[in-house]
A and B are shown apart, each in its own frame.
Chain A
Amino acid sequence: MNIPTLNMPVSVFLILYGLFMLIFIIYSLFNVYHLVKYGYYSFTLYSVITVFTGGTIILIALSIFLLAKYNWNQPIGIQKAIDSYNEDLFPGL
């Protein structure tokens, strides 16, 4: 089956990812604001906010580290993807 190669770089995925990150950051900040404004003062509260912030930084840094190695100008080739999928994952096909 011949499927034409789309003239779209892989970087289009980054637009979706950027949108997700925007929502993630807004939601996180709103949540922290809620905790600080309405929560009763305690060491636990500050610890949880610190752990959440630290964890978020680690997850984002790890994601950036993994994403940085790809060539984002590479066009998306559906045919290539299907061939690679068949050959590499299911050699019998």
Chain B
Amino acid sequence: MKTLAHLPNQRPNEKVVLFMRRHWIALVALGFGFSITTFLPLSIGWYYWDTLTIWLAHPSGGPLVTIIGSMYFLSVWLFAFVEFTDYYLDTWIVTNERIINTEQEGLFHRTASELDLAAVQDATAEIRGILQTLLTYGNVFVQTAGEKGRFHFKNINNPEQVKEVVNKLVEEDKKRLSSYGAVPAKIKTSKLK
């Protein structure tokens, strides 16, 4: 298991400044979907209880209905867990030297990228729509000089504040590197399928 104290390829004097996941509204949406898919069939079953009892008492129909019900609720349970995993493993870490982006796209597709702060040209915050404005969440795009284009922090909390922090860290990192006379760096991307 990974810890924030031991980042992948950790550098000397590197410190975590920001650790981000998607806004908690993503979990609310997941919870809402889970509740509907769980409680709606239960309510229908409760409403038509007499009919359901007849079905369940049938010698061959009863086992079939029970098995289908069991498979349905186990599938909903597993689906909710897979969606939580997707949420939990999507992380963006900003340190005083680089940005680490890890994205889980389904259970068998994972992308991990990192970017040196000195390679960042510009950071842009975007808040769109009523919900994002009310709950203060949105996107941050980190533009680089390289071909890989930009990093996208999706639906994070306080995007304006994150943008300010990233810009400040970029300036500090550039100053630090220029004081060493070093040349700024590159994006590293690895894909695990």
Q: Do A and B bind each other?
A: yes
Interface residues of chain A, those whose CB is within 8 Å of chain B, are 10, 13-14, 16-17, 20, 24, 27-28, 30-31, 34-41, 44-45, 48, 52, 55-56, 59-60, 62-63, 66-67, 70-72, 74-77, 80-81, 84-85, 88-89
Whether A40 and B59, one on each chain, are in contact in the complex, defined by CB atoms closer than 8 angstroms, is no
Whether A59 and B102, one on each chain, are in contact in the complex, defined by CB atoms closer than 8 angstroms, is no
Whether A31 and B82, one on each chain, are in contact in the complex, defined by CB atoms closer than 8 angstroms, is yes
Interface residues of chain B, those whose CB is within 8 Å of chain A, are 1-4, 19, 51, 54, 58-64, 66-67, 70-71, 73-75, 77-78, 81-82, 84-85, 88-89, 91, 102, 104, 107, 110
Chain A residues in 8 Å Cβ range of B74: 20, 24, 56, 59-60, 63
A72 to B64, CA, bound (A): 11
Whether B59 and A52, one on each chain, are in contact in the complex, defined by CB atoms closer than 8 angstroms, is no
Give chain B nearest CB distance to A27 CB in angstroms: 6
Chain A residues in 8 Å Cβ range of B85: 31, 34-35
Whether B66 and A40, one on each chain, are in contact in the complex, defined by CB atoms closer than 8 angstroms, is no
Whether A10 and B60, one on each chain, are in contact in the complex, defined by CB atoms closer than 8 angstroms, is yes
Q: Nearest CB to that of A56 among chain B residues?
A: B77
Whether A41 and B63, one on each chain, are in contact in the complex, defined by CB atoms closer than 8 angstroms, is no
Contact of A35 among B19, B61, B62, B88 (CB under 8 A): B88
